Structure formats: C-alpha cells, structure tokens
C-alpha cells in the first residue's frame, strides 16, 4: 500500500492542492475518463442495485434523500444508515474507473459508496468519513458523474462554512486524511437543479474494528440527513 507521503507527492505533481488548513488538502482532477464517462453514468444509474435506506432522525423515521449502494470486494462490509452492507464484488462496468483512480492516486480502495441524487432536491447532510473501519488515515477519493453540484466544507465543531467547490461531471476530488479529522462536508440541496448526479466515494476498509453509526449532525436541515 502507498504511504501517505507518496500519495501527496504524486497528487502534487499533477495539480496544486486546495489547502483548507490543518494540513487538510483537496485535489480536484477534471476529466479523468473522457468520453467513456457519459456511458458509465447511464450504466451505473441503470445497473447498480440502488437502495433507499430509512434512518431515524429526532425520533422519526425518514427515507434518506438519495439512493445509495455499497460496492466492494467480496466480504468487505461497511456500516451506514444503521445497517451493515456487504461487499459482493465489483461490476465490470467499474473496472476502467478503478484502474484510473489507482493510476492517479496510487491508492487501492477496496470499496466505494455510491450515491445517486435524482435531482437538486436530493442531498447529503454534514458529516465526516472517519468510521473506524477506514483506519487512522482515511483517504476518500470522490468521483462525479452527471449534473454538477456544490460540495461544502466547514471546520468540525464550528458550524462556520469555509469552502464550497463545484464538482463537475467526470471529475475526481481527493481528500487527504486530515480533511476528515478537522472538517465536515455536505452536499447541500440545490432546488434549481433538475438533473441527476451520481457520486462514488472510493474508500479503503482496513480493519474489522467495531463499526459504529456514521456520524451525522442534523443542524442544517433534517431532510438533508442520511
């Protein structure tokens, strides 16, 4: 497995990072698949076994405002929305994308959480991706298809929003581990957007430690929760 430093060096050679502070860095690489991206978008929309988990927020049950699917190596499981999701292997449609993500980052994720936002009404609330099964240095590699959407960061614990980045079709956003330590992120609702967007966050599940519920804060908008 690649060390943290060699990943940083490789990414810095490709593009200048966006520095959020506290050593938390983002790299945004546009156009990583080219023409193949549009076909991949339609294939994944149609072929992934999408689910719409229900979660309890302030004592009431709601379906999450998006569709989700966990894709991973056989036996690699991930806990979110109160359920453990088991990896069943990768669909061939993702082979080229996985190779490309590894080529760009040097990292070898063994799972990806897919989210399908049917239109701008679908969203994801403030959270960090720091589950114990991601280990002490969780690199999150986030690939985008379809409608461009804003992605927001704010310092963890402060509520003050610090940065919004537009994530466009066929772009890859890489978050260094410190992003999860010091910042939360969210995909805010954007009512004017009528088109669908699909996001895959590639992750490395490193241990079988006790899974705990994904951390979410519901301050912004209870409908934007997961």
State in angstroms the smallest separation of the CB of 207 from ligand AKG. 19
State in angstroms the smallest separation of the CB of 108 from ligand AKG. 19
129 binds Fe ion (CB under 5 A): yes
CA distance 18 to 61: 38
Spatial CB neighbours of 17, under 8 Å, sequence gap ≥ 6: 11, 25, 26, 27, 176
Cα–Cα nearest to 33, from 48, 22, 43: 43
**Residue 5 or residue 192: which is nearer to ligand AKG going by CB?**
192
Cα–Cα nearest to 106, from 18, 14, 177, 11: 11
115 binds ligand AKG (CB under 6 A): yes
CA 52, 54, 58: angle at the middle one, nearest 5? 145
Binder of ligand AKG out of 187, 193, 205, 224 (CB under 6 A): 187
With CB cut-offs between 5 and 8 Å by kind, which of ligand AKG, Fe ion, none does residue 187 bind? ligand AKG
Q: Which stretch binds Fe ion (CB under 5 A): 33-41, 78-86, 102-110, 121-129?
A: 121-129
Cα–Cα distance list, 132 to 69, 210, 211, 223 (Å) = 20, 7, 6, 26
With CB cut-offs between 5 and 8 Å by kind, which of Fe ion, ligand AKG, none does residue 85 bind? none
Cα–Cα distance list, 50 to 53, 96, 202, 221 (Å) = 10, 21, 17, 24
**Residue 67 or residue 104: which is nearer to ligand AKG going by CB?**
67
State in angstroms the smallest separation of the CB of 154 from ligand AKG. 13
State in angstroms the smallest separation of the CB of 9 from ligand AKG. 25
Contact residues for ligand AKG, defined by CB under 6 A: 113, 115, 124, 129, 142, 151, 167, 185, 187, 199, 201
């Amino acid at each position: 497995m690649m060390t943290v430093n060699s990943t940083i060096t490789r990414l810095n050679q490709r593009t200048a990072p966006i520095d959020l502070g506290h050593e938390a860095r983002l790299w945004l690489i546009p156009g990583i698949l080219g023409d193949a991206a549009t076909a991949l978008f339609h294939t994944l929309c149609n072929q992934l076994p999408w689910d719409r988990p229900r979660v309890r927020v302030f004592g009431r049950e709601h379906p999450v405002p998006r569709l989700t699917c966990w894709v991973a190596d056989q036996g690699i499981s991930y806990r979110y929305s109160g359920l453990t999701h088991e990896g069943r292997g990768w669909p061939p449609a993702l082979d080229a994308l996985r190779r490309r993500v590894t080529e760009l980052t040097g990292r070898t994720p063994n799972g990806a959480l897919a989210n399908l936002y049917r239109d701008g009404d679908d969203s994801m609330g403030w959270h960090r991706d720091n589950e114990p099964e991601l280990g002490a240095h969780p690199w999150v590699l986030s690939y985008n298809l379809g409608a461009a959407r804003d992605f927001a960061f704010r310092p963890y614990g402060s509520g003050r929003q610090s940065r919004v980045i537009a994530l466009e079709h066929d772009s890859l956003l890489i978050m260094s581990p410190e992003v999860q330590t010091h910042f939360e992120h969210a995909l805010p609702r954007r009512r004017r957007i009528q088109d669908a967007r699909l996001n895959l966050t590639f992750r490395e599940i490193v241990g079988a430690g006790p899974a705990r519920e994904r951390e979410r804060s519901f301050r912004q908008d209870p409908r934007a929760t997961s």
